[in-house]
Structure 1
Amino acid sequence: MRRRSLLLAVPAGLLTLAGCGDDSSDGGSASASSSPSTSPSPQKSTKIVPGPLPDVTAGKEFGEKPTVAKGPGEPSPELAVKTLIAGTGTAVAKGDFLQANYLGQIWSTAKVFDNSYDRGSPSVFPIGVGQVIPGWDMALVGKKAGSRVELAVPPGLGYGEAGNEKAGIKGTDTLVFVVDVVNSFNGKSSVKGKAVPQEDADLPEVGTNTNGSAPAVKVPKTAAPTGLVSEYVLEGDGDVVKATDSLLVQYKGVLWADGKEFDSSYQRGQLAQFGLGEVVKGWAQGLTGKKVGSRVLIVIPPALGYGDTPPQGTPIKKDSTLVFSVDILAKM
């Protein structure tokens, strides 16, 4: 599934010296540029109505790929929304990163133009802030994790008069979506993995709190390791991270030399998202093979960090060893 950039800056402390790569593509997609995270059209209505909506005829349980009938007659010119399954998890807030599975089809033909179920993992994108089509922003903020929501999106709250030619969507098409709200993340999110004993006195000790606050990172008064260190602090049970993945994370970075913090997503109150090809080698190598839902200690020697060319305007000196606590919240 190709998608537009989510327009969130990768913190300078993580970028490779060569700069960012193109994050406009999700390498696992076989679909056209039809996801709800492609360019939104101008909003023309703010009213939400309960229907009409087509029936879900199969795959009716949360997490199952649904089969949806053709739209019954003429669709409403307003946004139609119905909660098919009411979840009991955390409510999605404006500005959160929404993690959801979804299927989208055209009202008049029942032609499916996109679905995340066949890709094997939910999509993640900001909600309520204009980074998805307006119908999604209006319908999904306030829904709780574990909910299944059906919506019929009129053209003015979808792709507008231009439609989406690659996806076969005309400017007059009402779009039907079934959305399973899996989770949501924000600047106060933490992973919930199982604590792993930290028994090596020559390595930094990382806090195991999961309340959304930055964990303490205590650097020992010993010589820094010469090689890369990547160890679980909290081990999750999610998918294994691949070198080609893009991730959504919380992190904190300190210098081995004095333990002082030089960068933190917690301090900014904003999660970081990036492709592993866009960050320093120590991050890419240290996170590859780890599980989503984990907190990871990464100690990066100069050769895999910034070496003798540290980023300007930061406390990082030449040949600095860097220490990070990284919470892997989700794949993007």
Structure 2
Amino acid sequence: MSKIWMMVASAAVLTIASCGQSDEETKPADDTIELSDDAKTGAELKADHNKAATENLAASNEFLKENASRDGVTVTDSGLQYMVLEEGPEDGYSPDSTDLVVVHYVGTLKDGKEFDSSRARGAAAQFPLNRVIPGWTEGVQLMSEGDLFRFFVPPALGYGENGTPDGDIGPNEVLIFDVELIKVQSAERNLETANQFLAENLKKDGIQSTDSGLQYQIITESDQGGKSPEAADTVEVHYQGTLLNGTEFDSSYARGETIEFPLNRVIPGWTEGVQLMSEGDKYRFFIPPALAYGEMGTPGGPIGPNEALVFEVELIAVK
């Protein structure tokens, strides 16, 4: 789980099975639990935590004070510090606190120890900007698409005196993040972009539109007189799905195998569009947000709110 999330919790349940042992074999000899000599009491653990919190806060304050005097470091009223490493295009969009953002990032402690990285996972992260630590909520709003910033996040804007439950981030640790803002997922902006694209796309040769607003282009037509599906049929297809900028978010071709599903159990643009096809046909569909994932997008990405989608679909068989 990404360390930048602060409002997502998980719980684990430890289940102990007897594995076929009898009650007598699994029953403890008595009710006494013996602790090892080095086991600490709750009071001792709390004292250790408080000591670490005090020491870390002093070290963090000293680091931030010295860092603030470095060339290129800017300090906001909240105490957040940042450096601009690279600037994106001038027309890049800046997010509001309620927007979804798509980012790449690397998080380290002040000693250089890496505790989280989307780059190491090989996939950009998407999240609502108001659902992460305060240093991120404030800092990323200073950026525009294409920018690369380095943030120095004080403990009060990070994980405070508690740190993280897994212990990777201790109490009152200052955090350093290199953040690249790839895209701002604004529902209003995405809808405007989708409508503009679809209006221009409809002017192109070979593009047809249905009454619902679904657009399609016939890439290849089978001459075998194949069957066309109805909404309740199960179909076998190959497909590739991309965003308007060409980013691929799903592909049966990439997985190397076709997929089967009931046609009435997918997004409306698919349910309607594939019924226009016959076995052996290959179409390209341009799907408006209302016929795709709407203003919600997909949880956690990669499809943002009100994004238009492009699918190339090959109808293999109607089951």
TM-score (norm 2): 0.48
Higher helix share: 2
Max Rg structure: 2
